[in-house]
Structure 1
Amino acid sequence: MATVSADENPYVEDPPTDFEPVEELTEDEADEQAGLLREAIRFHDYRYYVENDPVIGDRTYDALFTRLQDLEDAFDVRTADSPTRRVGGEPLDELGTVEHVAPMLSIDSGGEAEDVREFDERIRREVGESVTYVCEPKFDGLSVEVVYEDGEYVQAATRGDGYTGEDVTENVRTIASVPHRLRGDYPDRLVLRGEVHIPESAFQDLNRERVERGEDPFANPRNAAAGTLRQLDPAVTAGRPLDVFFFDVLDSTHDFETHWKQHETLPEWGLKVNDRAERTDDIEDAIAYRNRLMDDRPDLDYEIDGVVIKVDDLDTCAELGTTERHYRWAFAYKFPARSEVTEITDITVQVGRTGRLTPVALLEPVDVGGVTVSRASLHNPEEIAAMNVNVGDEVRVERAGDVIPYVAEVVEKRAEGHYEFPDHCPVCDSAVEFDGPMAYCTGGLACTAQLRRAVEYYASDDGLDIEGLGGERVDQLIDAGLIEESLADLYRIETEDLTSLEGWGETSAENLRRELDASENPPLREFLSAIGIPKVGPATAADLAREFGDLDSIRDATRERLESVEGIGPKVADQIAEFFGSDRNEEVIDDLLDAIGPLETPDEDETGDELAGLTFVFTGSLSGYTRSEAQKRVEDRGANATSSVSGNTDFLVAGDSPGQTKLDAAEENDVPVLDGREAFEKKLREKGVEV
């Protein structure tokens, strides 16, 4: 296919941003215009992604793309290689597997210059003194194999074990820098190796949006790219900013003599390569190349963890061959791990389910104790002012309890002043209220971030354990307007509301509806844990249910009365009293009770203190009990039921398919394991509980 020129296509050099109404076109006119638009969009994709020299602005490009979508929807003229297919196809049940055309092996690596020199000496011993190398960045992304037949994109797969990988054809199709059709004088068959990644700038924007919505940010760009590429719903992939660099031809009907010729030719076919590649016949120049790239690393818009040095001549590469795992003609000269000192690239504010606003620093990824960290807590507004920290400052990052990363100090002050904490919520624009060092959004459940987190928690294991309501599905229900104001909206969702949404079938919709029905009339203790009272988890909720017996008594209790409950201190008592003292919370609770019916209150005949002071953890499926029922059984007799094993755990009850993490923790902490229902009930009887 020849390159599109301005003379041949009216939508290339000076395209319009508005068009005649679709309904005024005939089908032939629509088909002709759609064809021109597809060619123009491919041309502009090439100028933007490959040549990095766009000739139109984003708004004009969007107008062309939208027009093409409108025509294809109205006249059913969509083609298999249309750019509009980048918005994502039908969700998949699972990712299949694909056998690679050629093995996608790994590359031997080292972090010292002497390692590189030894690689060079070996190459020259085996093939002679005349060797030319190609040096290129070693991308920290996800390797993929991409296949073109007769210029058409037909398949993509992850690297997998090097011989077979996961079929990600539909997801890779959504990446704008992967052409659906090649340009120019392309070969009949072309199989490429590329690296899918998320640009640094796009990654920071993506994490900012997630944090502000109350979601956990991605740990680093590589994890984000890998998780995105493996989505079962291509529409999710399409909504995230994936990009790709191509760097190796695995198979082709076009003959290449060198890697460098591949590097020069791929852009002619519309394929994106990295512009930092170089060629040299001196290994010392290759070492110097790595050092220059390491210095430039902070300014690159993509993650790299070293450079790849590979023999240029392809016949020589074939002569050198491979080991079982590595190409013998290539070597990765790695960068040292980044220290715990890094730069703050942005500061955003996360909204929790209680409305608390937590400032979060987005960082240049840094190694802290062997873990890559790209975000860290800034604690609260007072800490920000005390540290005088701002975007652009170089800071030291530590991990609290070796788990939660936080900014410990400013190492080099590069920005003027400290970050000014917002006086309005970044999600709902409600006023921010300060309580000592803490800041809170006053929007309540009118704030979508708080509503999202509230629904997630309500459906979680510590809440009413409603299966099928994970974070992404909660987001989808809120975005679709099915949950607008409160938790009670959940119970107003009908099966047909769900089946109209992308990714929902009749079975999954009916399953969620059954789960919601089953969560009606919950036990008082589960309800108290689920509604999100600050500082009140399953154990405290069980204490309150046993002490007061019904919800009205808890709602009416004074701080002093709450504090008299064993295990509840003054701070927790204050939080409970403030929660029930809020008019908005009272409205939400009343609305929810109308939807779910009366609560199941403790039966005095079924309660006691035989297990008082003991802590149980449950894992796996326990015959004859749901997880909730088993926990209730021990809690009604005075025990605590927690979700994780620690040194304070007395018994781990293991049903079918137990979690290995909990079993390992039990062994590490010398916690007895009650294996199955018989062992569990035997222990209850030993403690005086009738079974």
Structure 2
Amino acid sequence: MNTGEKIKALREELHHHNHLYYVLDKPEISDYDFDQKLKELQKLEEAHPEFHDDNSPTLRVGGAVTKNFATVTHEHRMYSLDNSYSKEDLENWEKRIRKQVDGEVNYTCELKYDGASISLTYVKGEFKQAVTRGDGFKGDDVTNNVRTIRSVPLKLKGDYPEKFEIGGEIVLPYEGFAHLNAARVEAGEEPYANPRNTASGSLKLQDSSEVAKRPLDCLLYGLKGHKLGLKTQYESLEKARSWGFKVPDEAILAKDLSEVLKYINYWDVHRHDLPYETDGVVVKVNDLHQQEELGHTAKSPRWAMAYKFQAEQVTTHLNKITYQVGRTGAITPVANLEPVQLGGTVVKRASLHNADQIQKLDVREGDEVYVEKGGEIIPKIIGVNFKQRDPNSKPTEYITECPECGTELIRNEGEAQHYCPNFNGCPPQVIGRIQHFISRKAMDVEGLGGETVALLVNEGLIGNYADLYELKKEQILPLERMAEKSADNLIQGIENSKNIPFERVLFALGIRYVGETVAKKLANHFKNIEALEKASKEELEKIDEIGERIAESVVEFFSSEENVKNVERLKGYGLQLAISAEKLANQTVKLKGQTFVVSGVFSMPRNDLKKMIEDNAGKVSGSISSKTSYVIAGENMGPSKHAKAENLGIPIISEEDFLRMLK
């Protein structure tokens, strides 16, 4: 056996033993024997660098240093999940599913592990890249750090596809967390607060050899890619396991909702026996074709639901109620609490939501309150211990003036929150709007963060988002913690944002109630900002899914002289305030007024078909009704959908018929 063959054989042997130990928990050799083989391989690799391999088992110990983690656009967006907390929530979700898909619906149930979401890319069976979830569209490249996690396979086995991604969770087992904290305490350092945050923080350590010392684990559950040849979620879990991934064995296939609830009830009790933190169950429609039919909302897949276990609850003292002002002027009351441990973190503040909530719970300063951390990131107060209330306490009087600028607050009829109407003069609103403008889903200005925005406003260098485009390097260099390179990056980031497409610029403007989906709809309908500015409330309400509240908000935004002036300035600086000529060239009004239901499997990805409908002014609907113009039928179209279309007299056309229609 020559040297190259010996190195290859040793690597394969070590990959095999690594998988047996860290994934299957069935070691065949001792730790000593494994270490001896690893040392032998290290010596051979050092003597023969021509046989270097990024995925060699010797690189598990780390050593690469990453100063700045590159931002990577996800090829397949990482969505968040909708949460449910009761049997009724799941039943309502199932009703919505049955309206949209045909035939029997089965479910996979998987435990929801509490860790850091990750997406791994494999090409030709080799580990290529690891990217954090980030905002779902973009994340950080943490490949060097994830390569040190022993349960992440560096080379796959079996009939894996040419290229695919797999999503999962980086977790820190309780035992490893305890050992890590024991070592920190012994070294005189502060112990870490909880496993989840420690796992997440580990991924961003600059030295991968430090990550290698942490007993991180990687549990995987979601395959993504084109033409993977899989039919169900459960099959995809079994396939991933056979290729070498650590897929939790607790996942089951449930034939109906009663089996789903049985699974939930079992793990609500037995989750404490698991080696990892888990806070619920993820229920998914098992059939991948049905998943595709159901699609996604702007934030979440319609085919999955996270059932959250009952939240932990504690009592503590409410010291003071303060008030925060958001970017839209909305006032949020906040309870400042005596610090208390809750769900692995120290809680000092909790949301009180609005004046009605304070009145409903009769919450007062000085009360002993019950605090819960459910599906929300910010804990909330859910009740008061009236037995311990001071008899001299007085009901909370909600503020009448803005705590930041002193302007009298308003509360619109039918709305729960109070607002500060000082749109252009209230500092938190000004700062919040600019922070929204530069955020990832909006203008995505690299090199500029929320704290720097606040600094720029407080230093009087900017007063609105249009001012960003007049900033000069010499103005920002004197700012605190602003080095030459940082200043260059900030100015370049602002310049690059001029290429962001119209619908995202529209979202960035911060018009109340105009989120990502609405901004896209408005951009596609009006094509440019001038047409949108001139639109009346009645015109806006005629657009599909644009209601009275959104229409009023858009009209109100453009009735402000200050807003119109800022939009004109943005236009002058070269921002994209119209759909590009290239995109317009692919758009027509051929399908205007027509509604399509897309059902079945097609030669092109279903989303491409839907985009073609929308690009030609048509509407895509998930369910057949008397308002449906055409059903585009692919292979495996459900029989009940077919029958419903025929009963309603709706034309059923093929993919080829549709393409001819466009020509």
Task: Please indicate the TM-score interval, normalised by the length of the shorter structure.
Answer: 0.3 to 0.5
Q: What is the TM-score with the length of structure 1 in the denominator? A: 0.46
**Which is higher, the Rg of structure 1 or of structure 2?**
1
TM-score under structure 2 normalisation? 0.48
